[in-house]
Structure 1
Amino acid sequence: MRVERRLRGLNWILSSVLLAWLTACAPPRSSRITIGAKNFTEQVVLGEMFAQEIEAVTGEQVDRRFYLAGSYLCQQAMVSGRIDGYVEYTGTALTAILKQPLPAIGQRNEATVFREVSALYASKYKIKVGPGLGFEDTFAMVVRGDDAKRLGVTTISDAVKTSPTPEGWRLGVGYEFQSRPDGLRGLEATYGLKFAGEPRTMDLGLLYRALSSNQVDMVAGNSTDGPIRALGFVVLEDDKHYFPPYEAVPLAREDSLQRHPGIQVAMDRLAGKVSADEVRAMNYAVDSEHKDVADVVREFRRSKGL
């Protein structure tokens, strides 16, 4: 019995030491607010906008954790407390993060998707969805302007009937689009689209370069991408309304809002302030004019009286 008591005591001591060691090794949560962003220009623009607005409201410095590689890593960073908030898109949240099936085509409206996303984030992750920034950034099937004019294509349905090569459209996509439930396979099934071989998968920043240099004939981009207008590309209308709404909304952890109420004030101040044309212009200023993100956002906020 005495030996057993000693062993139990030793096990308790070892367990306590191990727990203390694990706690010491866990990354400390910063006392400052930390805002994240995914790894493409628009996300960095919106992350900087969120961060600057919080700084303006609170008078405190906000840490930036930008260029996180995609929705999954942003979600993990939120759940683990490594970031307090970031800007997401409702359609992406619904399908890629919350793993919900696409609503029936007739029910894919902005209000319905927003309500469902808000309820699921709150119940599953204790994350609050803020009011929309004022624009959608939907997936966009983009072609060269010359091809659109020559072939007479303005909608995705038009592209089913013709193509710039006998083999069909050569498609370029980002890494997520090929596997997402609201991505390529559903698009093919909805429209009956056929492509010339497997799509070329690449970083989002390379899609328009590949389209411009005739390496591909169509890319799955985003509707607010700056190069679309700058390079004379054409977005094909989603005439069957396949894609759900992708309203840009700020997310914040509920416990972060309790500790830092200024985050909520910043979200409310940004609500409805950003149009699709305005975010497209900011994307272009960063991507094509090589302006500093912080300066571009600061000028935009100044123009809005923020």
Structure 2
Amino acid sequence: MTPPRRLSAALSAALSLLLLCVPLLGCSPPRSSHIVIGAKDFTEQTLLGELLAQEIEAKTHLKVDRHFYLAGSYICQQALLAGRIDAYVEYTGTALTAILKQPIDRNPQQVFDTVQRLYQQRYHVTVFPSLGFQNTFAMVVRPSTARRLRVTTLSQLVPDASHLRLGVGYEFQTRPDGLRGLEKAYGMHFAGTPRVMDLGLLYRALESHQVDIIAANSTDGPIAAAHLVILKDDRHFFPPYQAVPLVSDAALRRWPQIRPVLASLAGKITAAGMRQMNEEVDGEHRDPAAVIREFRKEHGL
């Protein structure tokens, strides 16, 4: 059937009204009767979002909606302030530099105190104590590269850095605690222009010798699984990145029973434990929800 060449006046008016309404609906905060937990778009964040969601569901019997795979810190922050999500897990160093635009600080307690204070003052968001581990940036090389160059630290890498091809994620290239700051702190420069790619592709690029060194995360599962080498940040450039739940005060007022549940998660995850869970999902292709259920059972949660 040939489609009509003209719409009726009534239909045209209806479509125009619909098009006007769509942006308004898109800007309006949700009116969900459930708690909404957010997460960024990588495996660890999915696991941590699932941990918060499962704990709330188990301990309070409240319904939790999951809004995972949000693009990054900025998107999660905007979603939290707009009321589209009620909570997500952030990292203190990221919060300090990327969100709050504060100078880099390498004292973990001072960073936490600053982040907690400014989130409350500026955004009416409560920062809960650390889940027990930090996920810092990590400069990772193949074992063969570490042996050939005889390096274990970033300082030792400086003379050879200009011969190495670097792979990075999108955020690392632009953040103040990322590439430019690292190069300045160590006086090093890598070969050519860094290859920018999704975090999940970095390890494939390293394994296939497309790059020689990657800016990864210290709790990534493939590091231990592939026996890769993290070069020690011996000048302590990277700030602490403790994993902390962020929850809007509005959500805490609406559902006060979630406060003790989230507080009870403090100190429950080690870096090794987080790395293992990441590998179970990425390397063994297990369901994140099942991995978290198993973790909660093993730890009496």
* Same structural fold, with TM-score higher than 0.5 when normalized by the shorter chain: yes
- Superposed displacement of residue 145, structure 1: 0.8
Aligned residue identity for 1:60: L
Residue 8 of structure 1: aligned partner: none
- Superposed displacement of residue 26, structure 1: 2.5
Residue 256 of structure 2: aligned partner: 261
Cα distance in 2 between the residues matched to 1:96 and 1:152: 34
Residue 207 of structure 2: aligned partner: 212
Aligned residue identity for 2:77: Q
Residue 140 of structure 1: aligned partner: 138
Aligned residue identity for 1:215: Q
Could you tell me which runs of 5 or more consecutive residues in structure 2 were left unpaired when the two chains were aligned.
Answer: 1-19
Residue 94 of structure 2: aligned partner: 92
State whether structure 2 residue 269 is matched by structure 1 residue 274: yes
Cα distance in 1 between the residues matched to 2:91 and 2:43: 15
- Superposed displacement of residue 269, structure 1: 1.5
Q: Is the 8 A contact 1:169 1:195 kept in 2?
A: yes
Cα distance in 1 between the residues matched to 2:27 and 2:222: 44
Residue 67 of structure 1: aligned partner: 69
TM-score w.r.t. the length of structure 1 is 0.89
Number of matched pairs: 281
TM-score w.r.t. the length of structure 2 is 0.90
Match of 2:59 among 57, 63, 79: 57
Cα distance in 1 between the residues matched to 2:85 and 2:258: 13
Deviations 1:264-284 (A, max 9, x none): 122111110000000100000
State whether structure 2 residue 284 is matched by structure 1 residue 284: no
State whether structure 2 residue 108 is matched by structure 1 residue 113: no
Aligned residue identity for 2:109: A
Match of 2:239 among 226, 233, 244: 244
Report SS of the residue matched to 2:236: coil
Report SS of the residue matched to 2:120: helix
- Superposed displacement of residue 239, structure 1: 0.1
Deviations 1:85-115 (A, max 9, x none): 0000000000111111213xxxx11100000
Report SS of the residue matched to 2:291: helix
Aligned residue identity for 1:42: E
Q: Is the 8 A contact 2:37 2:53 kept in 1?
A: yes
Task: Name the stretch that deviates more: 62-71 or 262-271.
Answer: 262-271
**Residue 241 to residue 26, structure 1, CA distance change in 2 (3 Å):** same
Cα distance in 1 between the residues matched to 2:217 and 2:53: 23
Cα distance in 2 between the residues matched to 1:248 and 1:94: 12
Residue 37 of structure 1: aligned partner: 39
**Residue 23 to residue 187, structure 1, CA distance change in 2 (3 Å):** closer
Report SS of the residue matched to 1:197: strand
Cα distance in 2 between the residues matched to 1:67 and 1:135: 21
Cα distance in 1 between the residues matched to 2:203 and 2:24: 46
Residue 3 of structure 2: aligned partner: none
Aligned residue identity for 1:299: E
Aligned residue identity for 1:162: D
Q: Is the 8 A contact 1:57 1:265 kept in 2?
A: no
| Identity between Structure 1 and Structure 2 (%) | 62
Residue 162 of structure 1: aligned partner: 160
State whether structure 2 residue 87 is matched by structure 1 residue 79: no
Residue 3 of structure 1: aligned partner: none
Cα distance in 1 between the residues matched to 2:26 and 2:276: 46
Q: Is the 8 A contact 2:29 2:82 kept in 1?
A: no
The equivalences for 1:124-139 within 5 A come to: 124-139=122-137
- Superposed displacement of residue 27, structure 1: 4.2
Could you tell me which runs of 5 or more consecutive residues in structure 1 were left unpaired when the two chains were aligned.
Answer: 1-17
Report SS of the residue matched to 1:240: coil
